[in-house]
Amino acid sequence: MKTILAIDDNKSNLTSIEAVLQDNLTNCKVLIAHSGKEGIEIAKKEQPDTILLDIIMPDMDGYETCSRLKENKSTKHIPVIMITAIDTNTESRIVGLNIGADAFLHKPIDPVELSAQVKVMLRIKAAEDQLREDKNVLNVQIEKKIIELSKTNKTLQLEITERKQAEKDLKESEEKWRSLTKFSSSHISLIDLDYKIQFINHTAPDLTIEQVIGRRFTDFVPPDYYKIATDCFDKVVQSKKP
């Protein structure tokens, strides 16, 4: 059963969200929190598959709550959908993305859009969980192989062969991740430190993936937002946090 945590200080909002999710998602459990602090504690304990987080809350707003969730080892992998006022500007969205938010919804919330966004986050979470599990299994296998090599005094050539196999397995795991993201409705890309796009799963209708790969993402940013985009990217790189 998939679990969704909704965090909002407004009880009527929580009631509406719970009703929409129960009506549109099968085998789904909805958890409720009335504050950021309560939501963080529930997230740590219950490990929900997705979190719906309202921005405007007393004491601890959505930005701070999201930041704390992403800084905590046990909750940093949980996708967060931030719920914003209809007049939220681009800078506010960038702030949210910079601290780890995965998606945004505007008030008043459209039930169809809410259900679709949650389904996307659940698919991404499942794919990322599987990838981490594959990598953990692979790391254990590598450790076992290293121990076996030291105990049996195998030749250097055999060690090289084993490591090549491990690299091959890791590459296959990464290709599996790429395959999963290819069918995601969300736009996902990998960008290197030179701003160059190394991978992208979707493009605009008038562009092919081949036309985008290898180009700087700034080539596709409107001039008015160039500095905002590069500043945001550089800040992420310097902080070494996703």
Separation of alpha carbons 216 and 236, rounded Å: 17
Separation of alpha carbons 62 and 222, rounded Å: 28
Q: Helices 226-239 and 90-98 meet at what angle, rounded to 10? A: 20
Mean per-residue pLDDT for 21-43?
A: 91
pLDDT at 158: 65
Separation of alpha carbons 172 and 21, rounded Å: 35
Confidence class of residue 130 from pLDDT cuts 50, 70 and 90? confident
For 57-82, the pLDDT digits (tens) are: 988 999 999 999 999 999 999 999 99
pLDDT at 132: 83
Separation of alpha carbons 121 and 186, rounded Å: 9
Separation of alpha carbons 25 and 69, rounded Å: 24
Pick from 55, 54, 65, 63: nearest CA to 13: 54
pTM (whole model) above 0.85: no
For 189-204, the pLDDT digits (tens) are: 888 989 999 888 877 7
For 143-158, the pLDDT digits (tens) are: 887 777 776 665 667 6
Alpha carbon 82 to chain centroid distance?
13
For 153-179, the pLDDT digits (tens) are: 656 676 777 788 888 887 887 777 777
pLDDT at 80: 94
DSSP, collapsed to helix, strand or coil, labels residue 40 as helix
Pick 170 or 48 by higher pLDDT: 48
Tokens of 139: 């790391």
